[in-house]
Each structure stands twice: as structure tokens, then as C-alpha cells.
Amino acid sequence: MDLKLENRVALVTGSGQGIGRTIALALAAEGAHVAVNDVNVKGVEETADLVRQSGGKAIAAPFDITNLDAVKTMANKIEGELGRIDVLVNNAALLISHEMFLDTNPEDCDKEIKVILFGTMNCARAVLPGMIKRRFGKVISIVTDAARVGQERQCNYSAAKGGVISFTKSIAKEVGRHNINVNAVSPGATNSPMRMEMLRQLKENIGEAKAAEREEKVKRAYALRRIGEPDDIANAVVFLASEAARQITGQILSVNGGFAMLG
């Protein structure tokens, strides 16, 4: 199937590592040019180099998505270098702690919401005018099933992602008339660096054996009995960014191995 992504320009936030990096490489593999964003400058350069090594075209776009002025400046720079932004992937996120809500620090909550929700809105505010002018665009945000069904010890993170889900549906109704598709991919548990760090901390706290036992219990909550991989998320993003998904907008696509089967 020709996904018609050849020479499209994609901005992927939080692509200095993990799922974001996998998404950037997957889009490049389909012929898209990629603007690699992260606050981790080293990670940005590494991802951009990986794209180039694979034969793709990439530029480094290190900026803080919580700073609207910085987002607008970099969006203009990307459009100046690559001609436009056809695809925006809002992947950047922050999960500071994994603890009960009343034990969390309100300042950490503020940081998570600024990155996840306000960062997504800032990027949309900077990129959508160009998409509207060209009457073409794809916006895909990475959310989480924890925001759809609830998840203890992730209240702040889930609340921020829940805001992105609502924003996705609402902005899709506003910009659909301009031939812009806005959707979200909602992973279940995925072996990302964020999850690997949580597992590392869990092993330190309760030991290797109990952590392994808990991991098996987690897998049993999934119909497919496995934890997702970054490629699973990237594949869904590539599909939604393609013309094969031209009639899909305002949707939340769960990529969760059957953890939650939402209508």
C-alpha cells in the first residue's frame, strides 16, 4: 500500500529517545522528512543522525514545547528549511513520579500538565495556521489508556493526557473543514524508556522476584498476554499520518493488546 508519505514533513515532539524516536524513524522509512524535537539536545542529534543513516532527511529542532514563543520560532524555522509542516506528532510527555495522588508534589503536577497538555496545545497553535492555509494536515497525539479507564499512581499524568484526548476531539471539529485530520493513539503498557525506568525502580523497592511476579500479573490483564513495543505505537502513527486514514478524525485509537476494549 502506498501511504503517500513521500516528501511529507513531520514534526515529532519528544523524539530524542524512546517511542518518539521510533515514530520519527518509522515516518522517515515511509519517505517523510522529519523535524526531531526534544529538550535533550544530544538525543535530538542522535535521532536525526539515525534518520540520515537510514537514508532519510532530518533536521534538529531542540526547543521547549511549554514555551509558546519558542515553539512558534522553531515552527517558522522548520517551515523555512523544509518548506512546511504536514504532520504534527505530539509525543512529548513527562511522568515525574509513580505514587498516590495525595503523596505527589503539586509542583510536579504543574510540570506534567504544562508539558503534556499545554505543550500539545502550543504546538497545535503554532502549526495549524500553516495547515489551514495549505488545506492539508495531520495531527496525531500520543495519549494513554490510563486516561480513559483510570490508573492509580498516575493521577497527574492521566489527567493531563485526558485533557489531550478532549482537545483532540474538539479541535478535530474545528479544523476538519480545512482538510485536517486530528487523532490520537492511546497505548496500554509499552516498553518505553519511561516504563523501563519505572520497572527498575520497582525492582529496587521490592526485589527482582516480586517485580517479575507483578510483571506477569500485568500481562494477564492483556488479552494478547504481552506488553506493547514502541514499534506498535509507531505503526499506528504512520497509518494515521497517511492518506489511507483520510476519513478518520477525532478518534482515539487504542493500541493496547486488549487491555481495555472501549466503544
Catalytic (active-site) positions? 157
User: Which of 65, 34, 64, 32 minimizes the C-alpha distance to 47?
Assistant: 34
Tell me if 208 sits within 8 A of 32, measured CB to CB.
no
Find the angle CA(27)-CA(247)-CA(65) to the nearest 5 degrees. 45
Identify residue 180 by its one-letter amino acid code. Answer: I
- Grid cell of 53 as nine digits: 543513516
CA 241/CA 27 separation, integer angstroms? 9
| CA of residue 169 relative to chain centroid, distance | 16
- The residues that bridge with 190 in the sheet, in sequence order, are 228
Q: Is 257 left (phi over 0), alpha (psi -120 to 50) or beta?
A: left
Tell me if 111 sits within 8 A of 94, measured CB to CB.
yes
- Grid cell of 200 as nine digits: 527498575
Q: What is the largest CA-CA distance in the chain?
A: 57
Handedness of CA 227, 138, 53, 74 (dihedral sign): negative
CA 12/CA 21 separation, integer angstroms? 8
